[in-house]
Structure 1
Amino acid sequence: MNASTGTATVQPGLRPEPHPGPEDASARRRWIRPAAALLALALLGVGVTLFVQGRQLRDTPATSNRALTDSAATTRVAGDVSSALGKVFSYNPRSTAATKESAKQLLAGRALQQYASLFGQVEKQAADQKLTLTTQAVRTGVTRLSDSSAHLLVFLDQVYEREGKTATTAAAQLSVTAEMRGGHWRIVDITSR
């Protein structure tokens, strides 16, 4: 704008911008509404996608494994299973009945059936050979834990003693499945590794 004359000066090659008329404003409003609706739909789609992906991350097997997140529950099942294995795999010639009774309380399912079929032979050997077996869990790892079941890997030291002979120590490794029954962990499957 020229200050002395009060008129607008136009530089060569440049035209002044025209003011938008009512038709131009109406045309802009017509395309702004659909664009805003498309933007809202796109944002909604992104939100739903992120929500679904977040649920998938939370619901992976690793996040549902309490052995990785609940140290108190992991310690409890490891202690209960270690103690149970020590009781059911320890005996002497005079205490096989007590060992058998412990097995009925601490084992269930397939583990109890396996134990019952093998313990009859062990009971006879213990009496004939005056054999004492002492078992202790030396390392117990919980590999999977839920509210009602647990899978463990247990390393045992077993000491065999025959009357009048030197004790022999052996190591054993077991895969154990336990289930929560009546507020107590019961061993339901044992596999030698």
Structure 2
Amino acid sequence: MDGDAALLVEEEPLDEAKRPEAKEPEAKGSGAKGPDGEEPDGEEPGARRGRHAVRQKERRQRPAWARPAALGALAGLLLAAGLVMRVATPAAGEQAVAANQALIDKEATTKVAGDVSTALAAIFTYSPARVEATERAAADVLDGKAAEDYTRLMAQIKRDVITQQATLTTKVVRAGVVSLTASDARLLVFLDQSATREGKSTGPAVPAQLTVTARLDDGRWRITDITSSKAAR
């Protein structure tokens, strides 16, 4: 009986909770790498060679510009281009400033503004007794298209100035030199003009705005073109 009882105990199945877990064998080539990036020593040499071949193929398939050496060269080119742009931009600005003497030559700027202001006040101020004097002043300070336009204007208004006893007085409020070179200038001029007819005022002073082109002629500035626009103040 004791032997049979012992046999029965040994053949009795164990409780599942108490059954020891079976250990699975470790898979070779699990993907873990050593400190130097290589597969552990337990990996088979064939598997390592296969992975190395795949990595080499991926490197060869990268476009040339994406490879480290090419990227370094590209970064250098971009940096050089950025430096060129930063250097070229101030240079362009400096050339523009050098060409426009109105920004750097105070004496020349003052002279052209003064000559043009005096000329405009003279040719746009007239009265019945001074029509001929005004025409002579215009011939002295105007040239080119400006002289032609003024001659046509005076031919239209001369008779009215005399018969209606009309007068016009022009005052230059301010003149700004937009651009200036050694021989040419462009200005923006603001005027106030007052008129009378038969001794009576025709109303308050009227503002006017002119864009004037002038050319240096024998040491003085002569007006070559006048464009009028309504002044807004």
TM-score normalised by structure 2 residue count: 0.58
- 3-state SS of the aligned residue for 1:82? helix
Distance of 1:110 and 1:58 partners within structure 2 = 33
Do the aligned partners of residues 69 and 160 (structure 1) sit closer, same or farther apart at CA in structure 2, a change above 3 Å counting?
A: same
1:165 and 2:200 matched: yes
Tell me by how many angstroms 1:124 deviates.
1.1
2:56 aligns with none
SS at match of 1:95: helix
Name the SS of the counterpart of 2:128 in structure 1: coil
| Alignment-derived partner of residue 109 in structure 1 | 144
TM-superposed deviation, 1:164: 3.6
Partner Cα distance (1:178, 1:123) in 2: 26
- For 2:126, what is the secondary structure of its paired residue? coil
Identity %: 45
Q: What corresponds to 2:187 in structure 1?
A: 152
For residue 175 of structure 1, give the secondary structure of its aligned residue in structure 2: strand
What runs of 5+ residues in structure 1 fail to find an aligned partner?
1-48
Match of 1:134 in 2: 169
**Larger RCO, structures 1/2 (Cα 8 Å, 6+ apart):** 1
Q: CA deviation at 1:74?
A: 0.6
Rg bigger for which structure? 2
How many Å apart are 1:57 and its aligned residue? 4.8
* 1:55 positional shift: 5.5
Name the aligned partner's letter for residue 207 of structure 2.
A
CA drift at 1:128: 1.2
The correspondence of residues 5-154 of structure 1 with structure 2, limited to 5 A, is 53=88, 56-59=92-95, 61-154=96-189
Task: Give the conservation status (yes or no) of the 8 Å contact 2:165–2:199.
Answer: no
Q: What is residue 179 of structure 1 aligned with on the other side?
A: 215
Aligned-pair CA distance for 1:64: 1.3
Q: Which residue number in structure 2 is paired with residue 6 of structure 1?
A: none
TM-score (norm. length: structure 1): 0.70
Q: What per-residue deviation string (whole Å, max 9, x for no partner) do you get for residues 99-155 of structure 1? A: 000000000000000000111112111001100111111010000001101000000
Count the aligned residue pairs: 145
User: Higher strand fraction: Structure 1 or Structure 2?
Assistant: 1
Q: Measure, in 2, the Cα distance between the counterparts of 1:95 and 1:149.
A: 31
Distance 1:166 1:65, change over 3 A: same
